[in-house]
Structure 1
């Protein structure tokens, strides 16, 4: 990951954009070679656990465990997930669980995000000078996957800024998987398509969702996302 480099970005301009709405999406974030290298690394991930909200708690289900359920049990499980989603509660998507030799992928990406290059960049753009820690997750939204409206405020974790680095190729907005922002009263405000090699930053207090990926989407929505925390 030492070879991953950013394109030239006007920090002052980016800071001004962020301050207008406490959010910014930067296109062409990484150099072309770096974007290809990072995507190739993530593409080696063999499988994702299923992240969901079920029976009142967040769960992360290994794919083998879910596949061992009989067809009726799987159908009932997913039906309950969708019933909850209709009441604006829950999520259903793939999340990489670092384990075994594959954990090196996660460690490399997390170390890069915690490097002075990235931390200094995010501090300068957002104005949060005391950012010191990064939480990282690699996610895969397949057709039908979603994340309902919420914010990312967790006071005990000192989350300040959420981020998302998009890796899908030539994503079409009709395929869904949009990062949708809302007003405090739930009115749609702005939506970001997961444009390849774009990097989004937004204040954790922003209500947002990831709209359901369309059943006709020809690819999955692969992203690296998480939060920058203060001391």
Structure 2
């Protein structure tokens, strides 16, 4: 089955990707595919990823549930302290690659196989005009109150990331709940903002400065997505 919306105009999308080398594509998948992906992501037992003074850290859902109030407050204080001084992030995740390694046969495992297939990769090459992408990394992500991702450009010396993407799977969201994908100018101002419309894909060339705005305590929901990179191996 082809998961994509058959009405997509790939030539128009290629033109719109254009000079800014980024694009928000509405109604990217067939409606039934987006609904099924959203339900699958909503059922994940999320892990929290963040950084401390020693580097990247991850707490499983079981570990998070074992924390008492004082331990949770200590964790949040530590995340904020790192954010004051250097690059930081705090959001929930599940690696779809790990699902494949476990031998899962659910929808998300099938979906990452679909994204790694030549048929999908060739469409992404056509839209972006970047011919060398031939591998995909994918993770499910969830931004809840307190989540954020500080400004960075996705470049990693050891990886040849060429494109970043966000498949938005949140049915209802408000801009004042944060969780928006912002793109930065060299002077520190914001040049563009992508709203997480349900069944949309944000795609942009790497490197490109961007951040995800802080989700405040009063946000009534969670911002779910499948995110990752298209890589030239």
Would the TM-score normalized by the shorter structure come out above 0.5?
A: yes
Q: How many residues align?
A: 229
**Is the contact between residue 7 and residue 28 of structure 1 (CA under 8 Å) also seen in structure 2?**
no
Partner of 2:121: 119
For 2:90 and 2:35, locate their aligned partners in 1 and report how far apart those are by CA, in whole Å. Answer: 27
3-state SS of 2:134 partner = strand
What's the offset of the Cα at 1:34?
Answer: 1.9
Provide TM-score, normalisation by structure 2: 0.90
Gaps of 5+ in 2: none
1:225 alignment counterpart: 227
RMSD: 1.9
- CA distance in 1 between partners of 2:43 and 2:82 (Å): 33
Aligned residues of 1:179 and 1:210 also touching (Cα < 8 A): yes
Contact residue 42 and residue 105 of structure 1 kept, 8 A: no
Distance 2:43 2:66 in 1: 24
Structure 1, unaligned runs of 5 or more = none
Q: Does 1:148 align with 2:150?
A: yes
Quote the Cα distance in structure 2 between the aligned partners of 1:85 and 1:207: 17
Q: Return the alpha-carbon distance in structure 2 between the equivalents of residues 170 and 69 of structure 1.
A: 30
Q: Aligned with 1:21: secondary structure?
A: coil
| Matching residue within 52, 55, 63 for 2:53 | 55
The alpha carbon displacement at 1:106 in A equals 3.8
Q: Quote how far apart the aligned CAs of 1:41 are.
A: 2.4
Q: Which stretch has the larger CA shift, 82-91 or 196-205? A: 82-91
Q: Is the Cα–Cα contact under 8 Å of residues 3 and 34 in structure 1 kept in the other structure?
A: no
